């Protein structure tokens, strides 16, 4: 089922998100709050180093996060103000490899997915056919997630502006729409879990979305405050809910401190460049008559 965390805020050591808290992402690689708590089919972490350039650095491995010493070493000495990290539970039959680990990146964008596109095998080919040359060339692996990323990029590039928060959020919604159109075209009843998170290093958008069996909608939380620290396994957000200098979006709370909020089903969270948070319902999926879903422009 996968779990992920996205961080935008005060420069933080990666380990403060990945290793130190009681429910760190590494903890979630084997003991997530899920019926199947295991996410041991690889992991990835992307972090931005703006002083070097806009592209995030990425570290991935097909091995479990809980026993990767390199990850702990990296986590100790690497700080960033924008971090995306993910632990993978591979869908049955999909290859376990570095290529299939999230986050997927292109240029300054990093993208993660928690969930599953039911019927993806049946629409993969038409999805690929619908992509621009550029988006097609982005795909390296076989996951539905990476194909969603390519779709997202196409939706983004099609917009007049592609670097605003609005553009990113609209492109995400359109991605969801387009996936459902592809399913509809193949007479496949939608059964998707589409918790998606994307960032360009300065702003971020995430959605919590599912169609079909809504009982399978994965969890997604957010947390804001001045900065997030961790002492003796106890993580907490200093000045939580008082400001938005630091925002965390995560599949599960990393810690037991107050302020973690669950994202409403089929809604979106936007984090602007100044880290101000806004929430709004998704303008797609859920109860929308997909036969009539309009392309959001």
Would you please indicate which residues are annotated as catalytic (active-site) residues?
Answer: 2
239 binds a copy of itself (CB under 8 A): no
Q: How far is the CB of 67 from a copy of itself (least distance, A)?
A: 4
- Please give the sequence-ordered ranges of beta strands (E in DSSP) within the chain, or none if there are none: 3-13, 43-47, 57-61, 79-87, 104-106, 109-117, 192-199, 204-208, 210-211, 221-225, 227-231, 234-238, 246-250, 261-262, 267-271, 277-281
Query: Pick from 58, 54, 141: which is nearest to 95 by CA?
Result: 141
Q: What are the residues facing 115 on neighbouring strands?
A: 194
Task: Please pick, from the candidates 22, 34, 49, 288, the single residue that binds a copy of itself as defined by CB under 8 A.
Answer: 49
Nearer to a copy of itself, 67 or 189 (CB): 67
**Both structure tokens of 85:** 């990290």
Q: Based on CB atoms, which residue is closest to a copy of itself, 142 or 251?
A: 142
Q: Which residue, 62 or 216, has its beta carbon nearer to a copy of itself?
A: 62
Find the part of the chain contacting a copy of itself (CB under 8 A) among 33-41, 168-176, 182-190, 265-273.
33-41
Q: Which two tokens stand for residue 90?
A: 């591979």
What does the angle CA 288 – CA 290 – CA 292 come to, to the nearest 5 degrees? 100
Q: How far is CA 278 from CA 171, 189, 206, 244, in A?
A: 17, 31, 11, 11
Residues in 141-180 at the binding interface with a copy of itself, rule: CB under 8 A: 142
Q: Considering the complex, state which of residue 63 and residue 191 has its C-beta at the smaller distance from a copy of itself.
A: 63
Q: Residue 138 has which token pair?
A: 């982005």
Residue 281: CB minimum distance to a copy of itself, A: 37
Q: Which residues bind a copy of itself (CB under 8 A)?
A: 13, 30, 38, 40-41, 47, 49, 52, 57-64, 66-67, 69-70, 73-74, 76-78, 90, 95-99, 121, 125, 128-129, 133, 136-137, 140, 142
């Amino acid at each position: 089922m996968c779990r992920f965390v996205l961080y935008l805020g005060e420069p933080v050591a990666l380990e403060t998100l990945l290793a130190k808290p009681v429910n760190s992402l590494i903890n979630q690689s084997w003991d997530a709050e899920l019926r199947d708590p295991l996410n041991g089919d690889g992991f990835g972490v992307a972090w931005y180093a703006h002083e070097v350039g806009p592209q995030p650095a990425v570290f991935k491995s097909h091995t479990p996060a809980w026993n990767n010493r390199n990850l702990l070493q990296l986590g100790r000495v690497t700080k960033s103000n924008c971090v995306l990290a993910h632990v993978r539970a591979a869908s049955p039959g999909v290859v376990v490899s570095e290529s299939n680990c999230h986050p997927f990146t292109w240029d300054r964008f990093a993208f993660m997915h928690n969930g599953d596109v039911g019927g993806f095998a049946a629409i993969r080919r038409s999805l690929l056919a619908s992509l621009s040359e550029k988006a097609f060339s982005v795909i390296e692996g076989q996951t539905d997630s990476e194909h969603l990323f390519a779709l997202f990029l196409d939706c983004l590039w099609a917009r007049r502006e592609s670097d605003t928060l609005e553009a990113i959020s609209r492109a995400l919604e359109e991605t969801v729409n387009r996936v459902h159109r592809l399913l509809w075209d193949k007479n496949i009843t939608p059964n998707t879990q589409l918790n998606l998170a994307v960032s360009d290093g300065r702003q971020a958008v995430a959605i919590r979305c599912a169609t079909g069996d809504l009982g399978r909608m994965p969890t997604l939380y957010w947390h804001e405050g001045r900065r997030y620290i961790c002492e003796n396994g106890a993580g907490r957000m200093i000045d939580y809910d008082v400001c938005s200098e630091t925002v965390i979006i995560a599949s599960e709370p990393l810690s037991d401190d107050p302020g973690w909020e669950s994202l409403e089903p089929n809604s979106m969270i936007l984090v602007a460049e100044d880290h101000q948070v806004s929430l709004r319902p998704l303008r797609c999926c859920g109860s929308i008559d997909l036969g009539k879903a309009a392309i959001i422009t």
